[in-house]
Structure 1
Amino acid sequence: MKNRIILLFILGMVVRPLNMRAQHLESYLEYAATNNPGLKAKYAEFEASMQRIEQVNTLNNPTFSFGYFISPVETRVGPQRMKFSLSQMVPWFGTLDAKEDIASKLAESKFQEFLAHKLSLFRDVKEAYFPLIELNEHIRLQQENLSLLTSYKELANIQFANGKGTMVDVLRIDVRIEDVKSELLLLNEKMNLLQVRFNLLLNRSSDEVIELDSLNNFAGNRSFSADSIFVNNPTIASFDLKMNAITKQGELAKLSGLPSIGLGLDYVVVSKRNISTVADDGKDILMPMATISLPIFRSQYKAAASEANYLKNALELNKEQYQNNRNSEFVQAEYKLTVATELIKLYESEIKTQTRILDLLYTSYSTSGKDFVELIRSQQLLIKYKMRLSSEIKNYHIAISQLEYLTNK
């Protein structure tokens, strides 16, 4: 079973996640799967639980004892000088198999917990990666905004020099330029914070360079089925394995209440009496022994059986709660996906309209020097729509990541 589980682990680490949308993100997921300390700790717990199997499926150590007669016991064939005893206790039939089965199921449940943690890690990496792309796009848009505002300032100065504009227009644009510079500074500070968080999630240096993909790969809505939430779900598999182990634990409690059998051998060294008329003078004694335990104190076995029943009931309730939580999370993620999809369509339409308005206002101001306030307002509104669009594309991908996590992809 160990080889089978390790093979599954290797396949899980090598096979690329489904529905991957970007090359850099895929490489970061592979890096996280290899280096994240939390995931490595989960696998170490699984390896530790595998060692438990070897501990429970073997007999207790045999008992060896030695005795020396300070006052020799006289027998017909001579005085007894020393005694050697070797004995082995054997539990009731099926006890060791039950212990091994319990340990195996608990080890498998640990492996399923490892798989569940890997899915959770992949979701966390995606949810930390997409905000970085969003923020990078916001910085790019504000830099573009700053460049446009600078060109508008030059135009305003020309219009003022030609008597078509006012100094107020120039001052207004100066104020807005300073605002954008301040916003860029704050965005860069936030970028540093998000980069540290992402790098630590991958367990690497906090100042490591992060390669970012583009968010401009929105391809419409995608469908997910709630029926697939509990198909190949490692957490559900872990619950089931633990419940099977607890059931076996109840059976083990009954087996533990049955007698244990002991087999042994005594060897007694006898000295000679040097009397020729005594047959077998000085012959050592070899005596097979058999013992049986008497489990007459039954309260501990009854308590162990009751404990198993309570633990199984607790696992069933926790499994039910987990299923309810997953169903609720699925509905919320689907709603977020729908909202993001609709808002993306809205902002794409708004950007097209606002771009046309801005072109008309720019032409008007260039010729007449009028509507400068409207020109600046329209430009900032266009930037705001573009930033909102990138935010909603980020929200779309995060919703997809959550749905992939919930459907075990």
Structure 2
Amino acid sequence: MKQLSRNIKLCTVLAVFGSVLSMNAQELDEFIQQAIMNNPEIYKVELQYNLSSEKVNEVNTLPNTEFGLGYFVSEPETRTGPQRFKVSVKQMIPWFGTITARENYAKSMADAEYEDLVIAKRQLVVSVSKHYYKLYALHAKQNVLDENIELLETYRTMALNAVETGKGSAVAVLKLQMRENDLKKQKAVIKQDITSEQASLNKLINRDSGVKIKIPKVLELPDAEMDSISPNLDMHPELLKYDKLYASVAQSELVNKSESQPMLGFGLDYINVAERPNMDFSDNGKDILMPMVSVSIPIFNQKYRSTSKQHTLKQQELKAAQQNRRNTLESLLQKAIADRNAARITYNTQKENLDQARNAEKILIKNYETGTIDFNDVLDIQELQLKFQLQMIEAVTNYYIQTTNINYIAS
């Protein structure tokens, strides 16, 4: 049953981010499922929720039953005989509805803890997705650097041929070689970043940091936005939590009012009486049985009045905090939308620039056939191509990261 509950919660979280997952490889979906099932932080929050749920059983109890036993060292004499010992039992009972109010308060706190679990899972989805996209960016940059290194090697061969025919300078060959060395250095640095990013993603899944992660070679931007954004922030778990905390304070006030009422007590005293010697009458040695009723009245109730005032102030605080968080989420949503739009604009602009740079490269290659190539221009064009390619990768990565942020807030 517990496993079924975990699977239902998992499906709910994945449904929230379905629009992100549908755009990407199946691997991301699998990573998210593994992370939600294995992440120790999620397990910790889930245990906290189970602990809060168990408190419902804790409050569903009466006060301790009091038992007493007394022995008369000096036995008092009565008409029916001397009293030898006394046994008593007493049970206090809270005012009507107090236990129910306590149960409702414990349930309301458990409901608030559940929202923490939902929030933790949604945040984990965001973290896994962002590491995944960053890892994609690093691999994509590495592939671009490989392409550019191969291109520079071709240019260097052309430059050497030009030097041999007396149509080029050895300096151009050295510049191309230095540029190639710089790209190899960048590739080596990216390799270290991949190792670090891969370890971070693996640890979110709670597995060995060295496990290889399969990343798609290419992530394309969708032709248009998948759907219009019409957020219903009232249903966002970060805001729902404040509603449930507000309700828990209301339940706590009901408990406070119930506890400010009298408590009733029911008890029974039994007194053992010994027989009087050398006497014969009907009640000789008759034990005493005395039922009792008591009332505990909170005459000094300043404590309860103060608690009621605290509850009112706490509810006002929660409303203010909820509005502040709502404002923050709305601001973050607008920023994420703007950044995603900017990423698309950047991608389209740099794609156009890259096409133009490649056209310029073709012109340079044709010039080489006529013996008029300038390898300084070659380096400039190569640097521009690399710049545009890297910016396109960053734009794609940022687009999907901002989509993840939008889905966290707006879904």
Measured against the shorter chain, the TM-score band is over 0.9
The equivalent of 1:234 in structure 2 is 237
Aligned residue number for residue 389 of structure 2: 386
Distance in 2 of aligned mates of 1:57 and 1:191? 54
Residue in structure 1 matched with residue 80 of structure 2 by the alignment: 77
Partner of 2:40: 37
Q: Secondary structure at the match of 1:311?
A: helix
**How many Å apart are 1:197 and its aligned residue?**
2.2
Counterpart-to-counterpart distance in 2, 1:359 and 1:370: 11
Mark the CA change 1:56 to 1:179 in structure 2 (over 3 Å): closer, same or farther: same
1:69–1:82 Cα contact (<8 Å) kept: yes
Match of 1:402 in 2: 405
Alignment correspondent of 1:59: 62
SS in 2 for 1:55: helix
* Partner Cα separation in structure 2 for residue 34 and residue 379 of structure 1: 46
Q: Does 2:370 correspond to 1:373? A: no
- Aligned equivalents of 2:70, 2:224: Cα separation in 1: 83
- Closer/same/farther in 2, CA of residues 115 and 59 from structure 1, 3 Å limit: same
Which runs of 5 or more structure 2 residues have no equivalent in the other structure? none
* TM-fit CA distance, 1:211: 1.6
Moved more, 286-295 or 342-351: 342-351
Return the TM-score normalized by structure 1: 0.94
- Choose from 190, 202, 213 the match for 2:216: 213
- Indicate conservation of the 8 Å contact 2:119/2:237, yes or no: yes
Give the superposition deviation at 1:175: 1.5
Once the two structures are TM-superposed, the CA of residue 60 in structure 1 deviates from its matched residue by 1.4
Local SS of the residue matching 1:262: strand
Which residue number corresponds to residue 315 of structure 2? 312
User: What is the DSSP-based 3-state SS (H/G/I as helix, E as strand, rest coil) of the residue aligned with 1:263?
Assistant: strand
Q: Per the alignment, do residues 373 and 51 of structure 1 end up closer, same or farther by CA in structure 2, a change over 3 Å counting?
A: same
Report the CA distance between 1:199 and its aligned residue.
2.2
1:69-117 CA-partner distances (Å, limit 9, x unpaired)? 1111211211111111111100111111111100001001101111011
Matched residue, 1:13: 10
Moved more, 160-169 or 62-71: 160-169
Q: Classify the secondary structure of the residue corresponding to 1:216.
A: coil
Distance in 2 between residues matched to 1:96 and 1:330, nearest whole Å = 44
Distance 1:366 1:74, change over 3 A: farther
Unaligned runs of 5+ in 1: none
SS of 2:75 mapped into structure 1:
strand
Q: Is the 8 A contact 2:139 2:217 kept in 1?
A: no
Deviations 1:160-203 (A, max 9, x none): 11222221221221111111122112221222222222222322
* Aligned-partner Cα distance in 2 for 1:380–1:7: 55
Task: Give TM-score, length-normalised by structure 2.
Answer: 0.94
State percent identity of aligned pairs: 27
Report if aligned partners of 1:221, 1:341 keep a CA contact under 8 Å in 2: no
**Structure 1 letter corresponding to 2:336:** A
For 2:193, the aligned partner's letter is K
Separation (CA, whole Å) in 1 of partners of 2:286 and 2:79: 10
Aligned length: 405
Contact 1:159–1:369 under 8 Å retained in 2: no
8 Å contact from structure 1 (residues 146, 181) kept in 2: yes
Equivalent residue, structure 1, for 2:161: 158
3-state SS of paired residue (2:297): coil
Task: Supply the RMSD in Å over aligned alpha carbons.
Answer: 1.8
After TM superposition, where is structure 1 displaced by more than 6 Å over at least 4 residues in a row? none
Deviation sequence 1:197-250 (CA, Å, 0-9, x none): 222232222222122124423113426666424153222222111111101212
